[in-house]
């Protein structure tokens, strides 16, 4: 009798283990591999619609390459840098592009450089002086765009009253109406905006400063390090096979040599 009881107990325990395993496998919350969810890659805006489209296309080339090798990523776009930066800081997204290499104001870290920025220039009204360097802006009111990167050479300049706006168009309007003394932008983007606003004969600019490298930014986590290694590998492969040059050729992107 005792032997039969022991056998029956073993059978019950075995059934309980099997049921537990079945429940575990059937539960999505428990069975899901934490690394199986697609990474979220966000592309931010530029003032050049064609370049923004090329940045999105390039990023999709990279994520297709990664998908074919087992790393799935969703590509997102947001048309405001303040929101994109907030989402990255709150870890709602895993990867952000295009980001300035070495920007100390941003969390996380950047991977392999993908492109170069154009230098910034200082725009001012035609009836005022030309400013070549940020140090010449002391005592002035200078318009910046909320949430975007500017070189340390500019933002660390003392005795400058920096005033933020939501767009370059807003800053040029403030400049024309005398509410600020200058605004700072990449030369090509600034000239394009001035032409669109019909203000080419009312604003001038000084010399270029602050050329930087652009890259993808990753979260400072073990998974961020793994993604950075995979993205760097994909970038190398697509640069070598001609995808990089084909995607950005004919755009305003300043390519790596």
**CATH code of the domain containing 88:** 3.40.190.10
**Residues 60, 186 within the same domain:** no
* Residue 21 in domain: no
* Residue 245 in domain: yes
Q: What is the DSSP string of 27-49?
A: -HHHHS-TT-SPEEEEE---S-H
Check residue 63 and give its pLDDT.
98
**Residues 58, 90 within the same domain:** yes
Residues 81, 168 contacting (CB under 8 angstroms): no
Check residue 16 and give its pLDDT.
45
Count of structural domains within the chain: 2
* Residue 146 in domain: yes
**Residues 165, 132 within the same domain:** yes
CA 62 to each of CA 41, 51, 57, 75, 243: distance values in angstroms, whole numbers, following the listed order: 11, 16, 9, 10, 10
* Residue 257 in domain: no
Check residue 10 and give its pLDDT.
53
* Residue 49 in domain: yes
Check residue 13 and give its pLDDT.
42
**Residues 182, 128 within the same domain:** yes
Q: How far apart are CA 34 and CA 142, in angstroms?
A: 46
| Pair type for strands 39-43 and 95-100 | parallel
Residues 253, 189 contacting (CB under 8 angstroms): no
Could you read off the pLDDT of 3-56 as tens digits, one per residue?
Answer: 454 445 455 445 444 444 444 444 333 233 444 689 999 999 987 899 999 999
The encoded tokens of residue 232 equal 């760097």
Check residue 191 and give its pLDDT.
93
**Residues 54, 94 within the same domain:** yes
* Residue 4 in domain: no
Which residues of the chain fall short of a pLDDT of 70? 1-36
* Residue 64 in domain: yes
**Residues 47, 112 within the same domain:** yes
- Domain containing 159 equals 120-205
- pTM (two decimals): 0.65
**Residues 112, 216 within the same domain:** yes
**Residues 198, 225 within the same domain:** no
Could you read off the pLDDT of 84-93 as tens digits, one per residue?
Answer: 999 999 999 9
* Residue 28 in domain: no
């Amino acid at each position: 009798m005792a032997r039969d009881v022991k056998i029956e107990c073993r059978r019950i325990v075995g059934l309980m283990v099997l049921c537990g395993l079945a429940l575990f496998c059937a539960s999505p919350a428990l069975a899901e591999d934490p690394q199986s969810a697609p990474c979220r890659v966000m592309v931010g805006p530029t003032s050049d619609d064609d370049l923004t489209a090329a940045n999105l296309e390039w990023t999709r080339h990279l994520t297709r390459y990664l998908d074919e090798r087992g790393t799935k990523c969703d590509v997102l776009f947001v048309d405001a840098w303040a929101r994109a930066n907030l989402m990255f800081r709150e870890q709602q997204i895993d990867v952000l592009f295009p980001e300035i290499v070495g920007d100390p104001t941003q969390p996380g870290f950047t991977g392999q450089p993908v492109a170069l920025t154009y230098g910034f220039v200082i725009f001012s009204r035609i009836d005022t002086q030309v400013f070549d360097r940020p140090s010449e802006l002391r005592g002035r009111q200078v318009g910046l765009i909320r949430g975007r990167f500017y070189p340390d050479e500019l933002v660390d300049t003392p005795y400058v009253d920096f005033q933020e706006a939501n767009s370059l168009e807003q800053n040029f309007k403030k400049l024309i109406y005398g509410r600020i003394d200058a605004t700072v932008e990449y030369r090509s983007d600034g000239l394009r905006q001035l032409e669109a606003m019909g203000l080419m004969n009312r604003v001038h600019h000084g010399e270029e400063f602050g050329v930087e490298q652009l890259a993808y930014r990753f979260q400072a986590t073990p998974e961020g390090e793994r993604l950075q290694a995979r993205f760097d590998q994909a970038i190398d492969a697509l640069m070598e096979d001609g995808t990089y040059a084909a995607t950005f050729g004919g755009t305003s992107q300043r390519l790596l040599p």
